A and B are shown apart, each in its own frame.
Chain A
Amino acid sequence: MSKGLEVLIIDDEEIVCKRLKPAIEKMGCTVETFLDPVSALRRIDEKEFDVVVTDVRMDEIDGIQVLEHARKKAEHTKVVVITGYAMMALAREAMQKGAFDFISKPFKPDDLRRVILRAAAELGTSLDYEVPAEDPDSK
């Protein structure tokens, strides 16, 4: 039985946090959620997370700032950026600043799960969960 990942989810949309928490916990990970980025950053200072999933457009603090902060705190942290305002320039900026992946809203819970699986693989952890493969030929 391998250890699950420590995951942090930050989004000012309540539903995102509410629904994604059980979704990712199913994968055997520990999930903490925050609506407010400021308190989230404080938490990041306290604890090292394996994966940080963060929204970009939030009041007070930008998701990119969260990304930079998390990367500075721990090199191995995989930061996944999610946003409704996806544009190529923003995507490249996120990658440049060290994001692990960039997902545009709207997305399905499985989309995030696939990314977390990849993150786990890169971190050397294997998760006991299977995500149905993306089937572009389905009708």
Chain B
Amino acid sequence: MTEHTPANHAGGQKELPTALSDHLERTREAEEVKKALLARPRLGLRVQLLLGFLVVFLFAVGIAAAIIVSIYRVEQKVKFLEVVNDYVLEIDQARRYEKNFFLYGTNLNDALEAAYKAKEILEENRQKISRIMGPDQWRRVHENIHGYEGLLEQLAGHDRNKGAVSDSVKKELELKVRKKGQRMVVLAQDLMRKEKRAIEAAIAGSRRIQSYSLVFLLLFMISTAYLISGNIVRSIVRFESYAERIAAGDFTPITPTRRYRDEFTNLGLAINHMMQELQKHEAMLVQAHKMRAIGTLTAGVAHELNNPLNNITITVHMLLEDFDELAREECKGMVEDVVREVDRAKKIVSNLLDFTRESETKLEPLDLDELVRCTLELAANQMKIAGIKAELHATENSPRILGDSQQLIQVFLNLILNAIAASSRGGKIQLLVHPADEPDNLSVKVIDYGTGIPKHIINRIFDPFFTTKEKGKGTGLGLSVSQGIIAKHGGRMLVDSREGQGSAFTVILPITTIT
């Protein structure tokens, strides 16, 4: 079965009132929606992006700061190492001079000077050294060097007072000095080592910060990008769904979904406006199509009127002619004939008049078979002129559907007139009204046994302005407008055609529970 259907939107019933409300209602609604959309605080895409970059920048700044700080620390440490180096140098100097003194008896003052310098350095950098080796250790070192100093001073005293002290005392002193001296060196070297290790640790730490922060920066940038693009992509996906919805014929306005507005809001406003115009345009198309139908029918009605008019003319003329000879009863009969023919003429006109009446879309429960019958009456003339008969088969007690009678008649009229045009003189068309295959739906089938629709055309017959009639004969509006009307009613239109055999157009409409 060749199917061409507009998408059927879910929950047909409750969407109908919005989609079919009349123009004023729609305009008012549009205004409200516009206000709602614009009422939120604005957070433009550029601002979003800038914020994102700003955050990443701040993070990078933080990392840079951290790196700067760590390098500063290392720098400090290196500077301090120089101080420690000086200290160690002084200690070494003192020991060398001490050795010299014990070997050659000279440089004792130099040794003392060096020791003083070392102690000075130690005292000057008490805090820093305490930090490296602990305050207790500093005290120990200080004590040690203080002791060493003391011993050296003793030595210096003895040296000045030659011979005042015995050799053994001298020897003992020498031993103490040497021991203290050694200990001094050990401690100094310990200090140096500790300091070197501290520096290495600081450098390693700095390197770690650099590599970790790079990773974190990357992760941070990725997540920020995800966040921002996620916003944008979500909006785009949302608009994709709107586009699909509109293509299916649902013209519900776009309403606010987020807590802020941005450029997409403008897009939403523009699309709402576009839908309004589309609806207006659609209404015009429907009207134009209706006018064409009316034009076709009017010609037929004009001809049909000739019969009652003729009856009246002939009766009245004969009445005038034979007035004196006719019996009262006969005269009365003729006048009654005229009255009856006038009513007949009125009825012929009123049918068409009802159809031409401009009215706002009105939704009400309708009997489909009644509608189809009414449409057949309207088309009766065309059928007579074309020499076509119509058969109507409708199941009894069918449920009602919700719709606008004029618009639906317009659709059925379109299908019937097409079927008539496709049939040849003496042929017939069939109309079937019965429950559809899908539950809670009714189907109306218009079947003709004409030439059918060729395969390469059948996909285009619902396109607006597509027509196979010659220039000036058909506008090509019929089927596309009809399909639009049926879509707005929550139904669909299908076509099945075989070349050489005929065509069947099916309209499926949902039934209503409203009585």
Contact = CB atoms under 8 A, between A and B. Distances in A.
A88 interface: no
Given A15-B337, A62-B387, A109 B306 contact: no
Contacts of B314: 15-16, 19-20, 23, 106-109
Contacts of B334: 19
B306 A105 contact: yes
A20 B310 CA distance: 11
A68 interface: no
B137 to A, nearest CB: 128
Given A22-B318, A85-B303, A109-B321, A15 B313 contact: no
B317 A105 contact: no
B304 interface: yes
A84 B304 contact: yes
B307 interface: yes
Nearest to B319: A19
B307 A84 contact: yes
Contact of B384 (A16, A57, A105, A108): A57
Name, among B305, B311, B312, B322, the residue most crowded by chain A CB atoms within 10 Å (CB to CB): B311
Interface string A1-35: 00000000000010110011011000000000000
A48 interface: no
Interface in B366-391: 384-385, 387
Contacts, number: 56
B57 to A, nearest CB: 85
Contacts of A57: 384-385
A105 B341 CA distance: 14
Given A19-B314, A19-B315, A85-B303, A106 B337 contact: no
B311 A15 contact: yes
A69 B312 CA distance: 30
A19 to B, nearest CB: 5
10 closest cross-chain pairs (CB), A and B: A84-B306, A105-B310, A106-B310, A15-B311, A105-B306, A106-B309, A106-B313, A85-B303, A19-B314, A84-B307
Interface of A: 13, 15-16, 19-20, 22-23, 57, 62, 84-86, 104-110
